[in-house]
A and B are shown apart, each in its own frame.
Chain A
Amino acid sequence: MIFLTIGSHEPFARLIKAVDEWSARNGATPEVFGQITDQGIADHPPQHFEAVGKMSPKEYDQKFSQADLIVSHAGMGSILTALSKGKPIVVMPRRGHLRETRNDHQYTTAKHLGDRPGVFVAEDETQLADVLDRTLATLEQCRNAPVSQVAQPQFTAALRSYLLTNTFARDGVSRGQNGEESFEV
């Protein structure tokens, strides 16, 4: 099963249509299940796969875990969840100039994280079918060990130290509340 998710905030017609066409071409095999926002359901109800507007965090987590492949907008939540579950993910970024987001942050996310193992980027709807076909053809090799469920240990340790001592260390220098420097003790 392929889980298509486009985030909970805004519809993403380009991606929904591209997946619908791809699914039609394949006779709806493999099965696709989509979470495409209520507006997405109203505006462009997919003809060749089952979809819902929104899901509870628990349902979302279950669907994510059952999927063999994730197809998504290039949102951080989808990418982090896919990596932490070891699921291959195909992302297509929302674009600023098409008013799919405020700016091109998803495009830069795809650029900066697209080389991670298990992350595959379709720059736009014209590339999606190809990227999907290629990823599915090599799905066994695309599965990766899940990354850690939590942030980089040095990051949470630094935050923890700040929470407990009100200072944080950076480049061997610790800083007080207002950023004034003092030597590390």
Chain B
Amino acid sequence: MSKMPHVLAISSAGGHWVQLMRLRPAWSGMRVTYVTTDPGSEEVLRQDAAEAGEAAPGFATVTEANRWQKLRLIRQLSQILFLLLRYRPDVVVSTGAAPGYFALRIGRLLGARTIWIDSMANAEELSLSGQKIGKHVDLWLTQWEHLARPEGPFYLGAVL
């Protein structure tokens, strides 16, 4: 690849986000846009970037929604569609949950490469989204070696 890809890294707030943050060396130096559900994360990202002497990364938020909140899910989905059309990233990467699932499905339709990293919280079976997303992503990963299968999900390591 001749140029560095533009990475859109997306997850819901909380544990998924903490895991996404621990993966930052994977895309350091690349153009990156973060998307999450807590606007307060921008302040922390800016602070980290300033301490590292780097430019602040792109940042956007979407509505928080769980699997029972249909209207909020629809709102979240349309916000993600809008963000992907606006940013047109080369790669979409997610640690979960719902926002990541949506972003990977839409991102792939728009021609981006897609990476799902199932949360380390799923030590004995993949998350529901993680099971459903498998056949729709380019790189499908679990963080537990004993959950890896020859046809995927694969294991390349863990955030801890």
Question: Which chain A residues have a beta carbon within 8 Å of chain B's beta carbons?
Answer: 7-9, 56-58, 61, 75-78, 80-81, 83, 102-103, 105-106, 108-109, 111-113, 147, 149-160, 162-166, 168, 170, 177-179
Contacts and interface: CB of A to CB of B under 8 A. Distances in A.
A58 B40 contact: yes
Contacts of B24: 150, 156
Nearest to B29: A160
A82 to B, nearest CB: 11
B44 A75 contact: no
A76 B23 contact: no
* Chain B contact surface mostly: loop
Contact of B23 (A58, A81, A159, A177): A159
A103 B122 CA distance: 10
A179 B152 contact: yes
A106 B143 CA distance: 15
Interface stretch (B71-79, B99-107, B112-120): B112-120
Interface string B72-93: 0000000000000000000101
B159 interface: yes
B159 A152 contact: yes
Contacts of B4: 164
B121 A57 contact: no
B139 interface: yes
A154 B155 CA distance: 11
B40 A57 contact: yes
A36 to B, nearest CB: 14
Given A109-B123, A149-B22, A154 B91 contact: no
A154 B145 CA distance: 14
B95 to A, nearest CB: 9
B156 A164 contact: no
Contacts of A152: 157-160
A163 B26 contact: yes
Contacts of A78: 15
Interface in B130-160: 138-139, 144, 151-152, 154-160
A11 B80 CA distance: 28
29 contacts: A7-B14, A9-B14, A56-B40, A57-B13, A57-B38, A57-B40, A58-B43, A61-B44, A76-B18, A76-B19, A80-B159, A83-B160, A103-B125, A105-B122, A106-B121, A112-B144, A151-B19, A151-B158, A152-B159, A154-B156, A155-B26, A156-B24, A156-B25, A158-B156, A159-B27, A159-B93, A170-B154, A170-B156, A179-B152
